[in-house]
Amino acid sequence: MNWFNIKKIIKEINDFKICVIGLGYVGLPLARLFSTKYDTVGFDMNQSRVDALNAGHDATMEVSDVLLQDAIKNHGFKCSTRLDDIRDCNIYIVAVPTPVDENNRPDLKPLWGQAKL
Ligand SMILES: NC(=O)c1ccc[n+]([C@@H]2O[C@H](COP(=O)([O-])OP(=O)(O)OC[C@H]3O[C@@H](n4cnc5c(N)ncnc54)[C@H](O)[C@@H]3O)[C@@H](O)[C@H]2O)c1
């Protein structure tokens, strides 16, 4: 790998804009942590969940209010239900539910629903 390639990779890393879709037990801690290094938006279909998170409180207590509020105030972390707020992201991480049926087969409908957006 030459110096040009290294500089290109560093530029690409600095240009990351990450969207985490589904701000539950998995997605929110991930999004909060990413936000400390990269421009990050959290996306969820549940407006009241998004409102509470933007107000600095995670009802699931997976992320402490201190860390969440630090991410919002000092790292520009925000959550949204609006597609327009995530259109310019270049990395999308999906963490929506995949419940299993009686045969332990995952129901992938929420995942496909997200992929269509
Ligand atoms: N919770 C765990 O301990 C755990 C462990 C390993 C893997 N997982 C996997 O991680 C994934 C997420 O699980 P979780 O426990 O975080 O789920 P969760 O139910 O805690 O949160 C899911 C979030 O996704 C949102 N959501 C659902 N459909 C959506 C859609 N179409 N668009 C946007 N947001 C949507 C919901 O509003 C909710 O806030 C699942 O596939 C699960 O199997 C979870």
pTM: 0.89
Q: Does the C-beta of 86 come closer than 6 Å to ligand 1?
A: no
The whole-number pLDDT of residue 64 equals 98
Atom of ligand 1 nearest to the CA of 25: 16
Average pLDDT of the residues in 40-57: 98
Q: Given a cut of 80, is residue 45 above it in pLDDT?
A: yes
Q: For the residues 45-54, what does the mean pLDDT come to?
A: 98
pLDDT of residue 71: 98
Non-local (6+) Cβ contacts of 55 within 8 A are none
What per-residue confidence (pLDDT) applies to 77?
98
CA distance 53 to 64: 11
Considering the four listed CATH numbers 3.40.50.720, 3.40.50.300, 3.30.420.40, 3.60.40.10, the one that applies to the domain covering 16-116 is: 3.40.50.720
Residue 104 Cα, ligand 1 centroid: separation in angstroms? 17
Q: Is the Cβ atom of 110 under 6 angstroms away from ligand 1?
A: yes
Give the percent of the chain with pLDDT over 70: 96
Q: Is 22 in the pocket of ligand 1 (CB under 6 A)?
A: yes
